Structure 1
């Protein structure tokens, strides 16, 4: 599950006393499971939409943004990649400007740098031109660049043609999550984190909301449950008695950084032209708000839901993945792409060859390992990789089953969307 806030977990709650009519009172109107950036933005949105709403966030980690929200390249995406009408496009287009404004208002490090999407082969030019048209459809400030103009912006980058997208930037999403937690707490929300706050059981009764048991033995009753558990979202849905349409399969994204003396090779953000068949953007170059230059990520199957390295494996996670028909169908469909990703994972030279398509001067010794991230990728039974937000609703429950990039960029409008669904469910309880 995501992570939580700066507030310490409160004492174990005693069993709730009964009211005069014998009913057990609710501990909260809304329980949010998971304190990544989406869960925290949802809790924050609830406190703003209806001040006084009792919101409790449960998180099994000792701090906020310990998984996807705090393990990424920190890019504020413009929305240029996403099909018009998709949730990803709608959320990214509004969320990028809103995220920049939020960072400015709360003194969170951010910078609108713009970015280059670079074609290095002639076969990529049609896809690049299609992205230009899509950017214009979205009303984004896009410019076509030739080789000389690419060199003006990024002297060490080489390409046949590029797009410059002016509304892309970088920020510190982990700090955004921590600030959302502080704002939620200041508005009266309760934030519980640590191993004892892990949800172990969910009891849902018609017309009476939900009861949740946590690892420390506490039981909390609420009118509505919001599942923002990220890597564990499908499991939480099944605990609640719902059968999600997709299964979460973890993909590890491995990052590298340039050493301090080689950071001048990259001034801003440089991306390859993505393959539209996959929900991954390819290995890219990112200068972050703190001056470090990240290279990556690739995308390889993780051996555990929280498998941040090849040595981390979980028998139960592996058995569940191998027993899911969608895993095998996905593998048969995309094995060539996967083989290339695996090769780059185990071979520094193979990764260097890929990076050199954009950055010819890079050497294998320039690629220093950095902390990896694990993407919670929703996969359907037929092997289809879910490429948009997937939000399911059941009685008294809202399940966020797929929150792909640009989830961090668009977390504020996504949080409002999820909060509105929860408030609608509240009116039915």
Structure 2
């Protein structure tokens, strides 16, 4: 039996740890926060994606299609709330029809059950939606991802895994025998975890953990904050399920959309603005270390030069509730500025290459006895059990 140290206690780290225990490995999970699913997993929209957006044959396409089923099956088996409600992707103008048709073709290539429908059919699903055509996707679901993490923790506890909260990793070194040593702890004390292999699922800090382990990762994590509103309860009836715009295929973000949650509330968002801290959920959350790192990274400036209008639009929408509401009104005209109540925000760990190229697919890099998950934003939660199987294969 080998000992594997997993850094990161979000859904991906916990799923990898569970998969390793089912294969007979001894596992220690190290999470710097005092609770599981503290960041990306606990701040997302809880959507189980179907897999229609992603390049055919890519990790995201294959793993989200398979993960759409496996994560729902896991939820069903562990009494985790979920609802397979389906969604509409809507073209609100003739100019968006080519993008919608391209999305339908990609869905077919990926094996995603989806159909193009006319406005009258769309109104049967969403009476208040505005569109010239829509794509109906039946397998999209809503789930409680933090509850999935709680179930994974129960599985790990039953399997005898060593689960450590409040345990940041400060240093990593390879040993002469081929293993790894991880120095952990706070300023008041340190400890050393010795393992035969390391799996890095540190999300927003995955590139830093890779550098601690001696790698030079090909990409840098750049944090993007996604801000959400909730519709006032009096107007939540305007949305029955999930309503998405046709996305920009050159960007990994899906655009501001409307999502009816398990409790009946309707969330609106997210936008995508550069966060001033890797865990910066508000404009006033600033880390000079994080900000300096981002500012010194040439890839960020090249990205900004590539998409200047998009960058400005996202910042304006972040600062203007009226502009945010206008984006939603393109989908559901009855939604107004006065209907929006500020809700939570999330931060997406987006990998960016030095030439300014956004990494669209999952990115996993390896070294002897090390596996580093360096890009796993949405749909990583959907795909968590599938990514875990792939990572466990890499560990072997």
Q: TM-score range by the shorter chain?
A: over 0.9
Residue 208 of structure 1: how far off its partner (Å): 2.8
| In structure 2, C-alpha distance between the alignment counterparts of 1:268 and 1:370, rounded to whole Å | 19
Residue 206 of structure 1: how far off its partner (Å): 4.3
TM-score when normalising by structure 1 = 0.90
| In structure 1, C-alpha distance between the alignment counterparts of 2:110 and 2:205, rounded to whole Å | 33
Gaps of 5+ in 2: none
Q: 1:251-294: CA deviations, max 9, x gaps?
A: 00001111212110100011000000100000011011121211
Residue in 2 that maps onto 1:230:
203
**Consecutive aligned runs of 4 or more in structure 1 exceeding 4 Å deviation:** none
Gaps of 5+ in 1: 1-25, 425-429
TM-score when normalising by structure 2 = 0.98
Residue in 2 that maps onto 1:317:
290
Q: 1:316-358: CA deviations, max 9, x gaps?
A: 0011111111111111111111111001000011111111100
Q: Pairwise mapping of residues 20-59 of structure 1 onto structure 2 (< 5 A)?
A: 29-50=3-24, 53-59=25-31
Q: Does the CA contact (< 8 Å) of 1:387 and 1:404 recur in 2?
A: no
Q: Does the CA contact (< 8 Å) of 2:271 and 2:318 recur in 1?
A: yes
Residue in 2 that maps onto 1:171:
143
Report how many aligned residue pairs link the two structures: 393
Residue in 1 that maps onto 2:133:
161
Q: Which is higher, the Rg of structure 1 or of structure 2?
A: 1
Aligned with 1:309: secondary structure?
A: coil
| In structure 1, C-alpha distance between the alignment counterparts of 2:4 and 2:145, rounded to whole Å | 24
Residue in 1 that maps onto 2:41:
69
The alignment yields a C-alpha RMSD, in angstroms, of: 1.1
Q: Does the CA contact (< 8 Å) of 2:65 and 2:111 recur in 1?
A: no
| In structure 2, C-alpha distance between the alignment counterparts of 1:124 and 1:42, rounded to whole Å | 39
Residue in 2 that maps onto 1:99:
71
| In structure 2, C-alpha distance between the alignment counterparts of 1:206 and 1:115, rounded to whole Å | 53
| In structure 1, C-alpha distance between the alignment counterparts of 2:110 and 2:303, rounded to whole Å | 31
Q: 1:130-157: CA deviations, max 9, x gaps?
A: 1111212223221211111111111111
| In structure 1, C-alpha distance between the alignment counterparts of 2:355 and 2:109, rounded to whole Å | 32
Residue in 1 that maps onto 2:181:
211
Residue in 1 that maps onto 2:109:
137
| In structure 2, C-alpha distance between the alignment counterparts of 1:287 and 1:327, rounded to whole Å | 34
| In structure 1, C-alpha distance between the alignment counterparts of 2:139 and 2:205, rounded to whole Å | 32
| In structure 2, C-alpha distance between the alignment counterparts of 1:49 and 1:222, rounded to whole Å | 16
Q: Note if 1:363 corresponds to 2:336.
A: yes
Q: Pairwise mapping of residues 194-343 of structure 1 onto structure 2 (< 5 A)?
A: 194=166, 197-215=167-185, 216-343=189-316
Q: Does the CA contact (< 8 Å) of 2:62 and 2:110 recur in 1?
A: no
